[in-house]
Structure 1
Amino acid sequence: MSSKKRQLALNVFLHRFGHHPEAWRHPSSTDNGRPNLAWWIKAAKLAEAAKFDTFFVADFIGRSGEVTPQTGRSPQNYQFEPFTLLSAIAAVTEHIGLVATVNTNYDSPYHVARKFTSLDHLSGGRAGWNVVSSFGDHAAKNFGISEPRSHEERYERAAEFIAVTKALWDSWDDDAFDQPDRQAGAFYKPSSGHPVNHHGKYFTSEGLLDYPRPIQGYPVIVQAGNSETGLEFAAREAEMTYASAQSLEVAKAYYANLKGRMAKYGRDEDQLKVTPGLSVVVAESDQEAQDRFNELQQLVDVSNVSFGGFDLSSYDVDGPLPDLPYQADANGKGRFQQQLDLARRENLSIRQLVLRFRVSRGHLQAIGSVKTVADTIEQWFVERGADGFNVVPPYLPQGFEDFTRLVVPELQRRGIFRTEYEGKTFRENLGLNRPANPRDTRIA
């Protein structure tokens, strides 16, 4: 366990218009839906100026072939592919970590190992991998995949995917290409290469990665999952989790549960950062913040509601959530259960559940003055409901600008968040160890 003072981690995860489903309709949103690199660069620079740890880019891969009035209501998934976007951002930033989402169902370990190694070197050691193993029908059809994959199989496959990818990252010693011997005509020593010869259940890979080992050893491994299988996967593999919890009690239970699983894998608790999502609307006063949030809520359409893949449009939105069958292999079944538990526990109508859970995507909502928001963040951090937060602004750009202008200075004043970056790499700033190369024969 590290003796270094515990420090809050702050990540930002942006949708193009904001995480609230109707943010694109808000009067402050005037941009169109075309990809806009300048917008993303401005956001990344703002996050770095505020000393954020992470700029997090999701990838909701795959679209249905349906084009209907209902599908035309959402702008959320039309954005840049993560690696190309983060490569551009790497060129105009110096410190902030750059996390790209990659789904293990639609890629290969060799391809992913190359891309992350490249991004890590381009950025000077700031790459991170958000490992996703969801398997939606629409995405599968986009990739021509017809066979179903169970929840357990997806995680098992993802574990092997990571193992092969790490083996490829470890296929060269850290200094393999640092001292070419020009007189002898030896670009590298043969002993510095460690060919991969993997023949597993899901993947086969033979050979060497055609790029030096990442600066960080491995990019930081990020994962999101609330199911039992997801928790076990995170305890074994993850160095940061993107969790969801709407109460401190639930967050503390998740935190203790996850950290308590790490010892059996030989891992220290401080080598995994638990960062729940935080949906923030902050203003000079509690009332002003609530008024801004209400403007968004009034735009929500509850006429076509689905829940866990079930169409609820035939039910009274002001009536209770109907009994729904449990889906063992459903994507996001942890989130499904969270919503179901919330609706039953508080006797919420369908409309109330949408307005409580869906608009915040299941995350903690902090709506209020600077003091109100900072008090919430500090309490969750001090009481170990979180090591930090993944800030998910409901509307943009003002929502994130307000957070960096108002909340960050207050967290710095309280001494729980940095005023300057201390490390050179993403790992160093998070306080994570750099993994040694287990295949380097010089390491005792």
Structure 2
Amino acid sequence: MSKPIRFNAFEMNCVGHQSPGLWAHPRDRSWQYKDLDYWTDLAKTLEKGIFDAIFIADVVGYYDVYKGSNHHALHQGVQIPVNDPLQLAAPIAMVTEHLGIGITASTSFEHPYTFARRLSTADHHTKGRLGWNIVTSYLESGAKNVGEGGLRRHDNRYEVAAEYTEVLYKLFEGSWEEGAVVRDKERGVFARPDKVHEIGHKGKYFEVPGYHLCEPSPQRTPVLFQAGASGAGKTFAAQHAECVFVATPSRATLKDYVADVRAQAAAAGRDPAKVLVYTLVTVIVDETDDKARAKFEDYKRHVSYDGALVLMSGWSGIDFGQYAPADPVKKVETNAIVSVVEHLANGEKEWTIDELARWGGIGGLGPVFVGSPATVANILQQWVAETDVDGFNLAYALAHETFEDVVKHLVPELQRRGVYPTAYKPGTLREKLFGDGPLLPGTHPAARYRDIEAFKRRQARRVAVAGRRMRSGQ
């Protein structure tokens, strides 16, 4: 029996997202990103297509690596201007009943205490349909503009992220006990103070002594998304993520990635089957192969060559503007997205700069599948069968035409084959995805903080023992 296929829609609160230049296509709507009806129209289309979620990417900063400036990013509208993603959760939730809403936010630019309140608020407003995509950021411009001078080193950013999530877990899972909120109007008691706890966090990077500002939301901790593909990123994903996103150009690379993440998750004591992996692809589909190919050729005429290299340079940290189009892509040590450089320089194919620009012009780092519903369905099923991937994070070429075509043509074909859902499961996003309860399972590292007072006592004992050993010279 074929493994089920899942879809997420990959979006961003900006113009064009991963298809630079296509905002100028006469049928494209992405220039309307600043209008709420752009997002509510899209959300209703995705829910009709029974997508797991709309996954909204984000960057804090701008792409100024290519040719040493942000000229081409501004000129072509390459992920700038870019608006805040979390503010989209409420309007999307108001026009849908089931669609998950994955919001990207970085552990590098906002204090965990205030961010925890923003996440809990959004989980309340969406009735438990929120996901948080944990990123550590890769743009030097973002770090400089929040007063940090520059980015921390790559692996150190994951060390900070580990403590950041620990703070959030303590706030979400341990600060307010079950039953803390009683809402007893007769006695005039809203909450029991004895069941609301200070988390007492004092770590290497953050000190958060007090209480979470919000009562528990439907999921407490939103569904945890993560896109780690480097060594440090995969380890972090295996320990924390419930849904993992990856962008690889080939099935062989994806197969190795999925197997590695599942093995690491099992080694961490988690159920590897409860870690869903989605890979980035763009689908151009129409009634026939010929119609789909014609549509793809039409799209390619609007691709911005410089815009594609703006993204590739920003993601990799390598200024591809300093090379000739025929030059090969070579590995360079950078402080950006390490996995991008590894995939391009050490993969099965040797890329030239020109090939890289044309590859990334539609859909970014993922492959583009073009054809009739049957053709594309065959490709997707082949990728699932060969790699054990759980689903696809679908980028768009044209807003909202790409997603409308998927819902109109591809989803019914997959449903006819019995490999795509025909209805949503009830409950929160976590319940829809995994079929269990609304909270993180007991095998997740967040669960250790649910009895926060017991955790603090264990911590105090460890500190005392370490102090005695230090004093005795051991």
TM over 0.5: yes
Match of 1:333 in 2: 338
Shift of 1:322: 5.5
- Show CA shifts across 1:175-201 (max 9, x none): 321x33344443222332222100001
Match of 1:167 in 2: 170
- Show CA shifts across 1:322-360 (max 9, x none): 545323xx2111012112234xx4344321222124533
Q: Secondary structure at the match of 2:184?
A: coil
* CA 310–185 in structure 1, closer or farther in 2 if over 3 Å, else same: closer
Aligned pairs for 1:22-33 (under 5 A) are 22-29=21-28, 32=31
Contact 2:139/2:151 (8 A) holds in 1? no
Match of 2:471 in 1: none
Aligned pairs for 1:283-298 (under 5 A) are 283-298=286-301
Task: Give distance in 1, aligned partners of 2:114 and 2:306.
Answer: 42
Aligned pairs for 1:218-367 (under 5 A) are 218-302=221-305, 305=309, 307=313, 308-317=316-325, 319-321=326-328, 323-327=330-334, 330-342=335-347, 345-357=348-360, 359-367=362-370
Task: Give distance in 1, aligned partners of 2:75 and 2:226.
Answer: 30
Aligned pairs for 1:381-396 (under 5 A) are 381-396=384-399
Structure 2: which amino acid aligns with 1:9?
Answer: R
* CA 62–350 in structure 1, closer or farther in 2 if over 3 Å, else same: closer
Contact 1:169/1:209 (8 A) holds in 2? yes
Task: Give distance in 1, aligned partners of 2:221 and 2:3.
Answer: 23
Task: Give distance in 1, aligned partners of 2:332 and 2:82.
Answer: 34
Task: Give distance in 2, aligned partners of 1:289 and 1:358.
Answer: 17
Contact 1:35/1:79 (8 A) holds in 2? no
Shift of 1:18: 5.5
Shift of 1:41: 0.6
Structure 2: which amino acid aligns with 1:336?
Answer: V
- Show CA shifts across 1:73-116 (max 9, x none): 12433343112111221222111111111111111111121111
Aligned pairs for 1:65-84 (under 5 A) are 68=71, 71-84=74-87
Q: Secondary structure at the match of 1:255?
A: helix
Contact 1:11/1:53 (8 A) holds in 2? yes
Instruction: Single out whichever of 167-176 and 62-71 deviates more from structure 2.
Output: 62-71
Unmatched 5+ residue regions in structure 1?
Answer: none
- Show CA shifts across 1:345-385 (max 9, x none): 43443212221245332113211111111112222223443
Q: Does 1:150 align with 2:161?
A: no
Structure 1: which amino acid aligns with 2:321?
Answer: S
Number of residue pairs matched by the alignment: 433
Instruction: Single out whichever of 208-217 and 301-310 deviates more from structure 2.
Output: 301-310
* CA 39–340 in structure 1, closer or farther in 2 if over 3 Å, else same: same
Q: Secondary structure at the match of 1:403?
A: helix
The correspondence for 1:11, drawn from 4, 8, 17, is: 8
Aligned pairs for 1:80-159 (under 5 A) are 80-159=83-162
Match of 1:191 in 2: 194
Match of 1:423 in 2: 426
Contact 2:196/2:211 (8 A) holds in 1? yes
Shift of 1:49: 1.4
Unmatched 5+ residue regions in structure 2?
Answer: 455-474
Task: Give distance in 2, aligned partners of 1:292 and 1:18.
Answer: 19
Instruction: Single out whichever of 376-385 and 49-58 deviates more from structure 2.
Output: 376-385
Match of 2:382 in 1: 379
Task: Give distance in 2, aligned partners of 1:257 and 1:46.
Answer: 34
Contact 1:246/1:365 (8 A) holds in 2? no
Shift of 1:267: 0.2
- Show CA shifts across 1:408-436 (max 9, x none): 11111111221111121101110164226
Shift of 1:14: 2.1
Task: Give distance in 1, aligned partners of 2:17 and 2:62.
Answer: 20
Higher helix share: 2
Match of 2:49 in 1: 50
- Show CA shifts across 1:127-176 (max 9, x none): 10000101422111221211541111100100110110010012112332
Contact 1:18/1:395 (8 A) holds in 2? no
* CA 264–70 in structure 1, closer or farther in 2 if over 3 Å, else same: closer
Task: Give distance in 2, aligned partners of 1:217 and 1:7.
Answer: 28
Q: Does 1:39 align with 2:38?
A: yes
Instruction: Single out whichever of 16-25 and 273-282 deviates more from structure 2.
Output: 16-25
Match of 2:450 in 1: 439
Contact 1:33/1:75 (8 A) holds in 2? no
Aligned pairs for 1:209-220 (under 5 A) are 209-220=212-223
TM-score, structure 1 normalization: 0.90
Structure 1: which amino acid aligns with 2:40?
Answer: I
Task: Give distance in 1, aligned partners of 2:329 and 2:180.
Answer: 61
Structure 1: which amino acid aligns with 2:62?
Answer: R
Instruction: Single out whichever of 92-101 and 358-367 deviates more from structure 2.
Output: 358-367
Structure 2: which amino acid aligns with 1:173?
Answer: E
Structure 1: which amino acid aligns with 2:402?
Answer: G
Shift of 1:63: 3.4
Shift of 1:203: 0.5
* CA 163–31 in structure 1, closer or farther in 2 if over 3 Å, else same: closer
Task: Give distance in 2, aligned partners of 1:31 and 1:10.
Answer: 20
Match of 2:465 in 1: none
* CA 233–147 in structure 1, closer or farther in 2 if over 3 Å, else same: same
Q: What is the RMSD of the two structures over their aligned residues, measured on CA atoms?
A: 2.5
Q: Secondary structure at the match of 1:222?
A: strand
* CA 301–55 in structure 1, closer or farther in 2 if over 3 Å, else same: closer
Shift of 1:43: 0.1
Shift of 1:40: 0.8
